[in-house]
Structure 1
């Protein structure tokens, strides 16, 4: 077993980590090699005060980045052991990865790692073909493997109930001028390394839409290209809602999203019913689940979409310290 990670391993892992999703593509993470361990840190300068006042979304995003770090290291033959929040006096350090016993990557790790570059949120209408039962089972198992749960909402009545909760939450958020201003600030109309390009934002919402959409762009959909009337909706959750639960939920979310991508499917995320506390509790009661919902997903067969940009790995690596 090796005792330290190298700078090369750090840079390879970070190149994968930055492909994780984040609210408004805010990318709230930083990485450091300290004493041969890789540290994942929360970047307070990229918090979204109006949309994410508690830091929940930033921690979910960092959990997703952590899962990509783990995958990249495993595929490189240098699997890591993870310690969440290892320094109570430094809460910005969300995780420390230390080298574990060497082993070959598993076939699942190899497939999921290969899906990292292909995964992106697809905000376009999906095709009407149903998601096969085998793919649904794989998604549920992916969440469970990371200590989370995924409830797939089946049937028009159940989907309609979740959709109404999501729409109601979206209306609450949209009444906040600070929320609208923050959304506008993270919408990009030209070259950028963060935020959501207007061309990737999906078509403008229309009254007949079942699920809410964020107004990132102003493109109109073609006639007859409405969103699906009965989408496959999944609610991802964790046993609780502590910081550690949120980090675990982020890892489960990314494992589910990569499993979706590996199955040839597409997904988009709806966090509005999680951002509004009353809506989150309504969602939990509607599902009849213990624990805490952490994200709502829409899953299906998608047209080719547009990935959002990312900063370069060098821009999110703070410092490389030599092992002493």
Structure 2
């Protein structure tokens, strides 16, 4: 039996890395409870940080928390532990999304540790990307990364891509006029004058990127209809490279798997010199989500659309202080 202990400093470091995960509007809808004596982390939903209009069934919340679980696993592997993860371990407690138990390594999942340098380098980039095509070998590696987490990753054909872009454009137009979604945006997008400081959550003005002048890139505009002083416009790529991440079923457990798969793909993409941005507008409208799948070869349901490519990295966005999200038992 191992006598290796989990120090409070190590607990803080692991959770600090976990919270580098992306989440819808950077709401960071997670809490962590560490049972130090048992070397176990509980990852819980923070429903007060949900988006009632944009994400009424909390699917996006689960995806964001799943991404945080993947980061926690990567950080634990880097620190020399083997993370054993259970999703939704207690049916009586649906807010308990996952437990991650740390055991001594036995050689398994060493590829997780290799992703660790990307945890702090990965930032959502809403800037123009180059037209350079992602090599097939890299695309295949990203698809394998998604499969490791129980999801599918597909790059749509040119014809299917045009349809995905049309659906995303329709969703973005709806978001601009829907009162409830504008309310969610106003709560979390901190784009007004004097709001670009370290507020701890939400989307700061520095993360907006320029407005699209030319190109068909479906960048989510967190400014909405609001004017942002000093924000310019730019030409974006004419042939965006999108990837559809899907699961065969559509349960909360599948959403958590999708979040882990999304983050594993993004970390590997970062390691390969790519940048990325989740493009979730169409996925958030039920009548637009189903048509996103390829009508010929598509399987399951699309959970996330990712824009990937070569370009400037996005800026670091604020994170909540650890005392707000972490409880530690002896």
> Shared topology, TM-score over 0.5?
yes
62-71 or 165-174, larger mean C-alpha shift: 165-174
Could you say if the C-alpha distance between residues 286 and 305 of structure 1 is closer, same or farther in structure 2, counting changes exceeding 3 Å?
same
2:169 is aligned to 167
Higher deviation after alignment, 85-94 or 256-265: 85-94
What is the CA–CA distance in structure 2 between the aligned matches of 1:286 and 1:296, rounded to whole Å?
A: 16
* Partner residue in 2 for 1:308: 317
Q: List runs of 5+ in structure 2 lacking aligned partners.
A: none
Tell whether the 8 Å contact from 1:111 to 1:262 is kept in structure 2 after alignment: no
Normalising by structure 1, we get a TM-score of 0.91
Separation in 2, partners of 1:265, 1:247: 24
Q: Mean alpha-carbon deviation: is it higher for 45-54 or for 255-264?
A: 45-54
Q: Which of 48, 61, 83 does residue 58 from structure 1 map onto?
A: 61
CA contact 1:5–1:38 (8 Å) conserved in 2: no
Structure 1 match to 2:220: 213
**1:260-287, CA deviations, whole angstroms, 9 ceiling, x for partnerless residues?**
1000010011111110011111112546
Tell me the equivalent position of 2:328: 320
After TM superposition, the score normalised by the length of structure 2 is: 0.90
- 2:202 is matched with 195
Q: CA deviation at 1:92?
A: 0.8
- Aligned counterparts, 1:18-29, within 5 A: 18-29=19-30
- Cα RMSD of the aligned pairs, angstroms, is 2.0
Q: Give the equivalent residue in structure 2 for 1:119.
A: 122
1:295 aligns with 2:298: no
Matches within 5 A, 1:128-143: 128-143=131-146
Q: Distance in 1 between matches of 2:215 and 2:125?
A: 19
Task: Tell me how far apart the structure 2 counterparts of residues 15 and 283 of structure 1 sit (CA, whole Å).
Answer: 35
Q: Compute the displacement of 1:104 (Å).
A: 5.3
Alignment partners' CA distance in 1, 2:165 and 2:87: 34
Q: Is the 8 A contact 1:204 1:215 kept in 2?
A: no
**What do residues 67-126 of structure 1 show as CA deviations (whole Å, max 9, x unaligned)?**
011111111112121111112111111111223342357653233111000001000010
Q: Deviations over 1:139-197 (max 9, x none)?
A: 11110111100011232x33211100111122223221121122122122231111111
Task: Note if contact 1:269-1:296 (Cα within 8 Å) is conserved in structure 2.
Answer: yes
Asked if the contact 2:277–2:307 (Cα under 8 Å) also holds between the matched residues in 1, the reply is yes
Name the structure 2 match of 1:72. Answer: 75
Deviation digits for residues 238-268 of structure 1, max 9, x if unmatched?
A: 1211010000110000000001100001001
Q: Select which of 245, 256, 259 maps to 1:236.
A: 245
CA distance in 2 between counterparts of 1:210 and 1:69 reads 31
Cα distance in structure 2, aligned partners of 1:76 and 1:103: 13
Q: For residues 16-55 of structure 1, what are the structure 2 equivalents within 5 Å?
A: 16-34=17-35, 36=38, 37-55=40-58
CA shift in 2, pair 1:287/1:125, >3 Å: farther
Equivalent positions of 1:175-194 (< 5 A) are: 175-188=177-190, 189-191=195-197, 192-194=199-201
Contact 2:210 2:232 in 1 (8 A): yes
